[in-house]
């Protein structure tokens, strides 16, 4: 092979390589579909489908599921019930939204109602889900349970310091009436708004006897307020423990 032929082959080879590089660049930048955080595919350096890696969304498998401590129905009068469930977020560094369903079953094993809702839980937050005044004419609720449908919108957060405290709590017994007196104090230097105050009464075996809830719209800095919760009956069982849950509404 002569020198001229070798030179031509070298030139053609170089040109071919240049065209190959330019073609790949054009395909990669102009034609090829780039991985995104919104394409419903696990691609790029994502840890899951459109989550983890460079995506803002945190993958839900990073977090432990909620703990459901108990779910109960409380008959307050004939055919009228309060339904409540105690849930908590066991994660110390993740807050998230939870979709859930509460189902209640009558004495014949028939599903007589469902409640579907969403709640936001901060890291290690304990919450009482509470639905008062559910009417079932001529029926009794035999069984009730809460089902977690899914968690989503994970965000990395640290557990907040408690800025609202319980100063005192006292049971007041009257004829055909039981009252709970609770004094709440704002320990912060800024006002607190929309505070849910949930009370759970337990017997000596830690069984839940009753539950109630009230609200404080506004608590000024270093202010103390007293709230009352009332049950229109006297408790036959001895109340051995009173648990108070304070949760601020998340706007």
**pLDDT given at position 176:** 85
Query: Does residue 54 or residue 109 have the better pLDDT?
Result: 109
The pair of three-digit structure tokens given for residue 44, joined into one six-digit string: 């790029």
Q: What is the mean pLDDT of residues 179-190?
A: 94
Domain ranges of the chain: 63-156, 164-248
Checking if the pLDDT of 27 tops 50, the result is no
Given this chain, do its domains 63-156 and 164-248 carry the same CATH topology?
yes
Q: Average per-residue pLDDT in the chain?
A: 86
Task: Choose between 56 and 214: higher pLDDT.
Answer: 214
CATH number of 63-156: 2.60.40.3230
Which pLDDT band holds residue 56 (cuts at 50, 70, 90)? confident
Instruction: Report domain 164-248's class.
Output: mainly beta
Predicted TM-score (pTM) of this structure: 0.78
217-232 average pLDDT score? 94
Question: Taking Cα atoms as reference points, which of 62, 220, 78 lies closest to residue 137?
Answer: 78
- In whole angstroms, give the CA distance from residue 95 to residue 91: 8
Statement: residue 16 has pLDDT above 80: no
Q: Which residues of 120-134 are buried (b: 16+ CB within 10 A; e: fewer)?
A: ebbbbbbbbbbbeeb
Quote the pLDDT of residue 175.
Answer: 85
pLDDT the model gives residue 76: 85
Evaluate if residue 95 carries a pLDDT over 70: yes
pLDDT of residue 78: 87
**pLDDT digits over 232-245, tens only?**
888 888 899 999 99
Residue 206: what pLDDT? 92
Tell me the mean pLDDT in the region 76-105: 94
How buried is 71 (Cβ within 10 angstroms: 0-12 exposed, 13-18 middle, 19+ buried)? buried
């Amino acid at each position: 092979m002569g020198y001229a032929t070798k030179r031509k082959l070298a030139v053609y080879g170089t040109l071919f390589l240049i065209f190959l590089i330019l073609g790949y660049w054009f395909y990669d930048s102009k034609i090829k579909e780039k991985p995104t955080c919104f394409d419903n595919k696990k691609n790029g350096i994502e840890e899951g489908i459109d989550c983890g890696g460079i995506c803002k969304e945190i993958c839900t498998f990073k977090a432990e599921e909620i703990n459901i401590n108990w779910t109960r129905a409380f008959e307050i009068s004939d055919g009228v019930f309060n339904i409540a469930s105690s849930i908590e977020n066991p994660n110390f560094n993740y807050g998230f939204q939870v979709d859930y369903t509460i189902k209640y079953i009558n004495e014949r094993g028939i599903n007589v109602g469902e409640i579907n809702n969403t709640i936001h839980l901060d890291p290690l937050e304990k919450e009482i889900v509470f639905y008062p005044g559910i009417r079932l004419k001529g029926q009794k609720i035999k069984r009730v349970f809460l089902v977690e449908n899914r968690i989503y919108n994970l965000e990395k957060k640290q557990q907040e310091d408690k800025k609202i405290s319980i100063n005192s709590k006292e049971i007041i017994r009257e004829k055909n009436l039981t009252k709970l007196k609770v004094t709440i104090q704002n320990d912060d230097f800024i006002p607190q708004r929309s505070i849910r105050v949930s009370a759970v009464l337990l017997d000596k075996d830690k069984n839940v006897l009753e539950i109630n809830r009230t609200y404080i719209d506004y608590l000024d800095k270093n202010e103390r307020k007293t709230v009352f919760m009332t049950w229109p009956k006297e408790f036959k069982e001895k109340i051995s423990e009173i648990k108070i849950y304070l949760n601020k509404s998340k706007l």
